């Protein structure tokens, strides 16, 4: 139904929203209609610039900088997820080993969250 045209070739020869006569335009294929009838010689055109502005306003597409930033965030999130997947439970195991080593090296002082009756194993064994 919609077509993109370089110029408005039917009356009123301008954008129905902005009044500009500078194309390109979206030819809606819709004729003007009023209370007194339809005017087949009059066509509703919308300037492509107006369509782009409306799309940006409604969030259909945004500022190029914002889109690039969003794409970078998605890329970074994917890299972080890949690193997490590659490490699996290794991070937790390393953290537990470091905590146990710290407790051992500090002469048996319990780590934060450890219960005072928990035995302290030698992490170097």
> In the prediction, which pLDDT does 100 show?
73
- Average confidence (pLDDT) over 68-91: 65
> In the prediction, which pLDDT does 111 show?
47
Q: Say yes or no to pLDDT of 101 above 90.
A: no
**Domain interval for residue 26:** 3-53
Greater pLDDT, 48 or 107 = 48
Structurally, how many domains does the chain consist of? Answer: 2
Q: Which long-range contacts (CB under 8 A, 24 or more apart) does 26-29 make?
A: 26/2, 26/51, 27/2, 27/3, 28/1, 28/2, 29/1, 29/2, 29/3
pLDDT digits (tens, 9 = 90+) for 27-75: 999 988 888 888 878 899 999 988 988 887 777 765 555 556 766 776 6
- Whether 75 and 120 share a structural domain: yes
- Whether 69 and 119 share a structural domain: yes
Rounded to two decimals, what is the model's pTM? 0.47
């Amino acid at each position: 139904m919609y077509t993109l045209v370089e110029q408005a070739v039917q009356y009123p020869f301008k954008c129905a929203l902005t009044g500009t006569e500078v194309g390109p335009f979206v030819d809606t294929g819709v004729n003007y209609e009023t209370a007194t009838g339809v005017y087949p010689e009059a066509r509703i055109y919308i300037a492509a610039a107006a369509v782009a502005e409306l799309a940006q306003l409604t969030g259909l597409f945004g500022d190029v900088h914002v889109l690039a930033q969003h794409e970078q965030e998605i890329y970074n999130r994917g890299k972080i997820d890949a690193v997490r997947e590659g490490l699996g439970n290794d991070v937790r195991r390393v953290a537990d080993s470091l905590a146990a080593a710290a407790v051992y090296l500090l002469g048996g002082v319990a780590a934060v969250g450890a219960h005072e009756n928990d035995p302290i194993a030698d992490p170097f064994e």
